[in-house]
């Protein structure tokens, strides 16, 4: 219950309060923002705060700044100014609070007291009240270094180590044999222990010795002395050897006690009516007990016990509370601490839980770190020294000139009021304009200290410009390619006090061990602890622990690095090139930008900006008319045509995205953002790189954004067992060095997609690729079909295979020569960067072996179906073998339709647009003397043709045929004599030809020249 054992170092900062009106959280006190804090003290029902002005100038040399003391009582959020402290001119070191008296210790060792002399508590002798602060007469000439007060007694320790006490001692709390002493008396029982600090409870006292041991004396009705039993009061100090470690802090509450070991562990004992011991229950303890809920979770540095609760401060600068939560009947406890999974008594927590440090805004938490926290019966007061919690940007060139903002807790800022007149505005200065802000850049290795001017520009924001550190000791190290961190400290009082360092600057080894890559680059894991074997499970758990520790270390290093400024050598010029050089308008492409970066440079602010520069013309008036600026101009009444013509097609656009470090050290990576597909053609694009998120490197790189669509394939079908050269028809194509094609097979085949290279033909401007053959797949499926047929035969009861077919009554069908893959549709998607593929679902169809009939004459040039006219074969010499009549020659006129009946063709939807062809040899002469003039590829179509009835049939035949028109050959282009077409072949895609059955050649009538030619 005693006040703060160590006086607070004079510092700027932020004050927080917890009482019945704060809803169970520590709320900030804006009233104290523009003040330096000197002393915090709390006990019983009050808390005192002693402050100094941040800026002080005195005409008299050596005069101390005035100290203002404020008091908190009860549930009030507004402090009361304590005018009585103005009589103390010396700097205040410590304040101790009793029920009816107050003690003040100054830095010169003088002890003052004031109040009602209840049992001589003021120390001035007798029952004489002391209305004003007056030095305690009995201690004049003795330099006091520590003071503490209980309800009606006080204890002081001098620099020589002597202990003096006075006041009421009905429970032996003064450590004196007598029960009442009206003036300070030497305590011979306590002094030999070499006491360093004392904490006074309601009727008992805890003391910390110089050898870091805990002693206690006074009342023991609840076991608060920690002796293992309840006993009568004692004025003789009792050494507590039941605490297993050396003690760093002690605190005495109303009837319970708390101690913190040097190892960060916490012990408590005594009354536990509201869970103030933090042991998870309400049972009283007669000896020190370890708080197991805190072990390995929080490293406790200080403790403070109140009447029915205890508050702790951890090494992480957080506050923990256990016991009764300060509250009022009307307070809303939305942010009150609670233990997850436990049903504690209403208004109490039986084990320490963190207190929320509010920012003062709705549902906001402060970035401040508690330096001290003290408790009184109705609440607690916390002090957070000003700290720099973020620097942005946190990386800067060693040559200086970068505008940097430091986010600092606990600095004053005033919003400009709505003033009525301009003259009043000019004459009124805001509080931040009167503060001489200085920023200190400090490095320990190498040793360097620089101070620059700063200014407060917003709430918690100090802005400054980095100095040229190249001539400093930092410059020589940075010039070698290293990155060096410097601590940022801020002063709001002209350099008298500085903010404390939030973290210690990390060493290079720690930085090298952090994860410096994008989460997507982490090795993929299928799961932790799911392996079947026990050894594998242990390995998985180790991997999980290793990953967790690595990521936690990386996050910690990133958090620490964000509070410092990192000097480095800026890359000369900028990035060199980018891969890939294009991305789809939908975004999502992973971009690698090659740029040399300094070693161990923080990467939190890496930024890539996509700059879209609008064009004024694209050479397409129709498309230009649809541009946004042109559409807007068209809606203007009587526009200035010259001004409209000078307008760009669209407005300028800049899109910044977050970047991350390339794991291979080649530069930085980012993901391309989505763009407006309607405006993609109206811009030229470039990439800009920033290492700090604000300033961009001088060199930019050209980039392309495309809206690619696949509209068709030529050809769109091909044979299963041969490769096909396919041309891709597209819109929105841009030239790229990376062309990839992805083949997606039907899901029922369960085949993985294939990625193939594609080629760009600069002469035709087309993209082509080679469609693979599936011969191996066909063969495999035939073997599988044969094996399945053998299993069926065996199941049918013909293990010897003698007469299985006859027994089953059905002939065994031979396996499909195409393996069931004829008509297979494969979706073809194109990518211009190897990552993002189209999703247009344009398919290529594989066909199997087609069956062809001999080529027939279907119709004459006029399109009329007619019987083919055959010439009788020439008579041979006598004795020669005669040719059969079927070998008659058919006469073809130019433009006649010929065709071959085809079977096993793909569906008509595929063949309708197929580039089919009929190939034939054009020969001159007959028989062995025939001379091949050239091969003709006749464009063909696949259609249903109605043929005359066959012999013995009455109904005409409707068959699917590959048809073409007989070519027109000029007579002057061929030798004299008859010309023929022979050796017909048919192709469905113009590349792969299948021979028709052997047949007599067809005589082609050449086109005779016109008379006027």
- pLDDT, residue 771, reads 95
Q: Where are the beta strands (DSSP E) in 493-633?
A: 564-568, 577-579, 582-584, 590-594, 607-614
- pLDDT, residue 521, reads 41
- pLDDT, residue 738, reads 92
- pLDDT, residue 417, reads 67
pLDDT tens for residues 366-393? 888 899 999 999 899 999 988 999 998 8
Average pLDDT score over residue span 661-683: 92
Q: Enumerate helices (H) and strands (E) in the chain, giving the number of each.
A: 10, 63
Which residues on neighbouring strands pair with residue 612, listed in sequence order? Answer: 653, 685
Q: Is the per-residue pLDDT at 242 higher than 70?
A: yes
- pLDDT, residue 885, reads 37
Would you report the helix, strand and coil content of the chain in percent, each value rounded to 5? 15, 40, 50
Structure tokens, 362: 């709705």
- pLDDT, residue 335, reads 65
Q: Which of 62-66, 434-438, 772-776 has the lowest mean pLDDT?
A: 62-66
- pLDDT, residue 981, reads 93
- pLDDT, residue 63, reads 62
Average pLDDT score over residue span 478-507: 83
Question: For the chain, first and last CA: distance in Å?
Answer: 126
Cα separation, 844 vs 774, in Å, equals 13
> Length of the chain in residues, anyone?
1013
Note the helical H segments in 822-896.
Answer: none
Q: Measure CA 916 to chain center.
A: 55
Structure tokens, 798: 């013909």
Pairing relationship of beta strands 683-690 and 667-671 according to DSSP bridges: unpaired
Q: Is the per-residue pLDDT at 9 higher than 60?
A: no
- pLDDT, residue 537, reads 66
Cα separation, 185 vs 402, in Å, equals 63
- pLDDT, residue 812, reads 61
In angstroms, the Cα distances linking 175 to 102, 217, 224 are 20, 7, 16
Is the model more confident about 408 or about 544? 408
Average pLDDT score over residue span 859-882: 56
Structure tokens, 857: 């004459």
| CA neighbor of 221 nearest in space, from 213, 237, 233 | 233
pLDDT tens for residues 762-794? 888 899 999 999 999 999 999 998 888 888 888
pLDDT more than 90, % of the chain:
57
Q: Are 802 and 774 in contact (CB under 8 A)?
A: no
- pLDDT, residue 929, reads 82
Burial of 120-129, coded b for 16+ CB within 10 Å and e otherwise, reads bbbbbbeeee
Q: Are 918 and 938 in contact (CB under 8 A)?
A: yes
Q: Is the per-residue pLDDT at 887 higher than 60?
A: no
pLDDT confidence tier of residue 239, bands split at 50, 70 and 90: very high
In angstroms, the Cα distances linking 927 to 619, 700, 873, 969 are 61, 73, 12, 21
Q: Are 550 and 515 in contact (CB under 8 A)?
A: yes
Q: Which of 267-271, 282-286, 430-434 has the lowest mean pLDDT?
A: 430-434
| CA neighbor of 851 nearest in space, from 1000, 716, 986, 990 | 986
Q: Is the per-residue pLDDT at 426 higher than 70?
A: no
pLDDT confidence tier of residue 47, bands split at 50, 70 and 90: very high
Place of tokens 């990390």: 506
Average pLDDT score over residue span 432-458: 90
Average pLDDT score over residue span 494-513: 68
Q: Measure CA 897 to chain center.
A: 69
pLDDT confidence tier of residue 520, bands split at 50, 70 and 90: very low
Cβ neighbours of residue 650 closer than 8 Å, sequence gap 6 or more: 612, 614, 615, 627, 628, 629, 679, 682, 683
pLDDT confidence tier of residue 8, bands split at 50, 70 and 90: very low
pLDDT tens for residues 795-846? 887 655 555 444 444 456 778 889 899 999 999 999 999 999 999 999 999 9
Q: What angle do CA 537, 539, 544 make, to 5 degrees?
A: 95
Burial of 989-999, coded b for 16+ CB within 10 Å and e otherwise, reads bbbbbbebeeb
pLDDT confidence tier of residue 534, bands split at 50, 70 and 90: low
Average pLDDT score over residue span 693-715: 93
Q: Is the per-residue pLDDT at 80 higher than 70?
A: yes
Q: Are 903 and 850 in contact (CB under 8 A)?
A: yes
Cβ neighbours of residue 741 closer than 8 Å, sequence gap 6 or more: 728, 755, 756, 757, 758, 769, 828, 829, 830, 831
- pLDDT, residue 530, reads 41
SS3 label, residue 913:
coil
Structure tokens, 96: 């101790």
Give the predicted TM-score (pTM) of the model. 0.72
Residue 749 per-residue DSSP state: G
- Full DSSP string of 921-977: EEEESSGGG-EEEEEEEEEEEEEEEEEPPPTT--SPEEEEEEEEEPP--BGGGS-SS
| CA neighbor of 598 nearest in space, from 691, 669, 514, 689 | 691
Q: Are 111 and 104 in contact (CB under 8 A)?
A: yes
pLDDT confidence tier of residue 877, bands split at 50, 70 and 90: very low
Cα separation, 405 vs 391, in Å, equals 6
Is the model more confident about 646 or about 208? 208
HEC per residue, 814-849: CCCCCCCCCCEEEEEEEECCCCCECCCCEEEEEECC
Report the sign of the C-alpha dihedral through residues 16, 18, 23, 26, in that order.
positive
Q: Are 389 and 371 in contact (CB under 8 A)?
A: no
pLDDT confidence tier of residue 183, bands split at 50, 70 and 90: very high
Which residues on neighbouring strands pair with residue 302, listed in sequence order? Answer: 313
Mean pLDDT over each residue of the chain, to the nearest integer:
86
Q: Are 117 and 64 in contact (CB under 8 A)?
A: no
Q: Write phi, then psi, for 673 (nearest 5 degrees).
A: -85, 160
Q: Is the per-residue pLDDT at 140 higher than 60?
A: yes
| CA neighbor of 368 nearest in space, from 495, 505, 460, 464 | 460
Average pLDDT score over residue span 174-200: 95
| 154 exposure class (CB count in 10 Å sphere: 0-12, 13-18, 19+) | buried
Q: Is the per-residue pLDDT at 879 higher than 50?
A: no
| 917 exposure class (CB count in 10 Å sphere: 0-12, 13-18, 19+) | buried
Q: Measure CA 394 to chain center.
A: 18
Q: Is the per-residue pLDDT at 137 higher than 50?
A: yes
pLDDT confidence tier of residue 410, bands split at 50, 70 and 90: confident
Widest pairwise Cα distance in the chain: 167
Q: What angle do CA 404, 406, 411 make, to 5 degrees?
A: 140
Average pLDDT score over residue span 558-587: 89
Average pLDDT score over residue span 64-88: 85
| CA neighbor of 668 nearest in space, from 647, 691, 686 | 691
Is the model more confident about 517 or about 344? 344
- pLDDT, residue 342, reads 86
Cα separation, 203 vs 224, in Å, equals 10
| 796 exposure class (CB count in 10 Å sphere: 0-12, 13-18, 19+) | middle
- pLDDT, residue 81, reads 92
- pLDDT, residue 867, reads 56
Q: How many CA atoms lie within 13 A of 336 on its CB side?
A: 22
Q: Are 861 and 893 in contact (CB under 8 A)?
A: yes
- pLDDT, residue 433, reads 84
- pLDDT, residue 709, reads 94
Is the model more confident about 910 or about 114? 114
Q: Are 71 and 82 in contact (CB under 8 A)?
A: yes
pLDDT confidence tier of residue 1012, bands split at 50, 70 and 90: low
Q: Which of 35-39, 75-79, 756-760, 998-1002 has the lowest mean pLDDT?
A: 75-79
pLDDT confidence tier of residue 212, bands split at 50, 70 and 90: very high
pLDDT confidence tier of residue 427, bands split at 50, 70 and 90: low
Note the helical H segments in 692-742.
Answer: none
Cα-only R_g, the chain = 48
| CA neighbor of 569 nearest in space, from 697, 695, 478 | 478
Q: Are 41 and 96 in contact (CB under 8 A)?
A: yes
Q: Which of 100-114, 510-524, 594-608, 932-946 has the lowest mean pLDDT?
A: 510-524
Average pLDDT score over residue span 922-943: 90
Q: Is the per-residue pLDDT at 420 higher than 90?
A: no
Q: Is the per-residue pLDDT at 550 higher than 80?
A: no
């Amino acid at each position: 219950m005693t006040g703060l054992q160590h006086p607070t170092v004079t510092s700027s900062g932020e004050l927080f309060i917890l009482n019945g009106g704060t809803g169970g959280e520590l709320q900030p006190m804006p009233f104290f923002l523009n003040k330096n804090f000197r002393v915090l003290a709390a006990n019983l029902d009050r808390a005192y705060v002693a402050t100094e002005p941040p800026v002080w100038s005195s005409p008299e040399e050596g005069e101390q700044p005035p100290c203002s003391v404020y008091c908190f009582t009860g549930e009030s959020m507004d402090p009361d100014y304590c005018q009585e402290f103005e009589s103390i001119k010396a700097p205040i070191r410590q304040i101790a609070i009793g029920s009816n008296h107050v003690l003040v210790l100054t830095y010169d060792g003088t002890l003052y007291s004031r109040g009602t002399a209840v049992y001589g508590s003021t120390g001035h002798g007798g029952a004489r009240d002391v209305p004003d602060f007056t030095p305690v007469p009995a201690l004049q000439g003795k330099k006091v270094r520590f003071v503490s007060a209980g309800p009606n007694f006080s204890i002081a320790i001098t620099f020589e180590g002597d202990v003096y006490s006075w006041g009421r001692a009905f429970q032996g709390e003064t450590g004196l044999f007598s029960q009442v002493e009206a003036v300070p008396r030497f305590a011979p029982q306590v002094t030999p222990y070499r006491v360093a600090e004392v904490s006074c409870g309601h009727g008992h006292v805890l003391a910390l010795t110089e050898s870091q041991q805990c002693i206690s004396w006074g009342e023991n009705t609840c076991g608060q002395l920690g002796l293992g039993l309840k006993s009568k009061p004692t004025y003789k100090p009792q050494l507590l050897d039941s605490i297993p470690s050396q003690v760093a802090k002690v605190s005495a509450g109303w009837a319970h006690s708390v101690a913190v070991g040097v190892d960060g562990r916490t012990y408590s004992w005594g009354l536990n009516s509201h869970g103030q011991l933090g042991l998870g229950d309400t049972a009283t303890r007669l000896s020190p007990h370890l708080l197991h809920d805190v072990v390995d979770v929080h490293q406790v540095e200080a403790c403070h016990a109140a009447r029915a609760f205890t508050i702790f401060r951890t090494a992480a600068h957080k506050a923990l509370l256990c016991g009764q939560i300060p509250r009022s009947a009307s307070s809303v406890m939305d942010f009150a601490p609670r233990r997850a999974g436990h049903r504690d008594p209403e208004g109490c927590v039986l084990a320490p839980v963190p207190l929320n440090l509010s920012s003062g805004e709705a549902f906001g938490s402060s970035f401040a770190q508690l330096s001290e926290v003290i408790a009184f019966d109705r609440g607690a007061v916390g002090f957070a020294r000003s700290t720099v919690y973020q620097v942005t940007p946190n990386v800067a060139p060693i040559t200086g000139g970068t505008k940097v903002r430091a986010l600092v807790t606990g600095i004053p800022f005033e919003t400009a009021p709505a003033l009525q007149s301009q003259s009043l505005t000019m004459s009124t200065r805001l509080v931040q304009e009167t503060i001489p802000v200085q920023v200190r850049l400090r490095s320990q290795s190498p040793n360097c200290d620089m101070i620059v001017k700063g200014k407060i520009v917003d709430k918690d924001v100090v802005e400054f410009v980095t100095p040229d550190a190249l001539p400093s000791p930092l410059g020589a190290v940075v010039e070698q390619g290293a990155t060096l961190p410097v601590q940022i400290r801020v002063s709001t009082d002209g350099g008298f006090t500085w903010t404390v360092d939030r973290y210690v600057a990390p060493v290079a080894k720690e930085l090298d061990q952090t994860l410096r890559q994008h989460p997507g680059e982490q090795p993929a894991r299928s799961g932790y602890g799911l392996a079947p074997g026990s050894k594998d499970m242990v390995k998985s758990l180790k991997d999980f622990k290793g990953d967790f520790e690595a990521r936690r270390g990386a996050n910690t290093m990133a958090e620490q690095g964000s509070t410092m400024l990192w000097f480095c050598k800026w890359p000369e010029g900028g990035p060199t090139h980018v891969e890939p050089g294009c991305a789809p308008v939908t975004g999502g492409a992973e971009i690698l930008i090659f740029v040399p970066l300094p070693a161990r440079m923080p990467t939190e602010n890496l930024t890539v900006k996509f700059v879209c520069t609008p064009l004024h013309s694209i050479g397409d008036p129709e498309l230009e008319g649809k541009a946004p600026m042109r559409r807007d101009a068209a809606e203007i009444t009587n526009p200035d045509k010259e001004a409209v013509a000078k307008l760009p097609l669209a407005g300028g656009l800049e899109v910044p995205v977050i970047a991350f470090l390339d794991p291979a050290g080649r530069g930085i990576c980012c993901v391309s953002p989505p763009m407006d597909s309607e405006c993609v053609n109206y811009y030229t694009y470039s990439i800009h790189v920033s290492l700090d998120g604000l300033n961009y490197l001088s060199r930019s790189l050209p980039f392309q954004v495309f809206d690619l669509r696949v509209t068709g394939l030529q050809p769109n079908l091909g044979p299963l067992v041969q490769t096909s050269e396919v041309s891709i028809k597209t819109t929105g194509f841009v030239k790229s060095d990376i062309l990839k094609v992805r083949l997606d097979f039907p899901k029922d085949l369960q085949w993985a997609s294939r990625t193939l290279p594609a080629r760009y033909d600069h002469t035709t401007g087309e993209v082509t690729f080679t469609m693979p053959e599936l011969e191996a797949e066909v063969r495999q499926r035939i073997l599988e079909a044969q094996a399945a047929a053998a299993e069926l035969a065996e199941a049918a009861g013909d293990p010897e295979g003698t007469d299985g077919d006859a027994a089953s009554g059905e002939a065994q069908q031979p396996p499909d020569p195409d393996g069931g893959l004829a008509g297979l549709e494969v979706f073809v998607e194109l990518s211009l960067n190897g990552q993002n593929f189209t999703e247009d679902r344009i398919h290529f169809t594989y066909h199997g072996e087609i069956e062809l009939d001999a080529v027939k004459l279907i119709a004459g040039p006029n399109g009329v179906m007619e019987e083919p006219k055959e010439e009788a074969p020439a008579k041979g010499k006598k004795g020669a073998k005669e040719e059969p009549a079927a070998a008659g020659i058919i006469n073809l006129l130019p433009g006649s339709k010929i065709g071959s009946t085809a079977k096993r063709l793909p569906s008509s939807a595929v063949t309708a647009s197929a580039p089919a062809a009929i190939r034939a040899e054009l020969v001159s002469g007959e028989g062995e003397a025939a001379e091949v003039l050239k091969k003709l590829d006749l464009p063909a179509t696949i259609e249903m043709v109605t043929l005359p009835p066959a012999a013995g049939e009455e109904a005409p035949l409707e068959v699917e045929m590959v048809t073409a028109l007989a070519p027109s050959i000029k007579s002057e282009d061929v030798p004299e004599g008859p010309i023929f077409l022979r050796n017909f072949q048919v192709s469905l895609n113009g590349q792969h030809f299948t021979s028709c059955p052997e047949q007599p050649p067809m005589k082609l009538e050449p086109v005779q020249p016109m008379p006027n030619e």
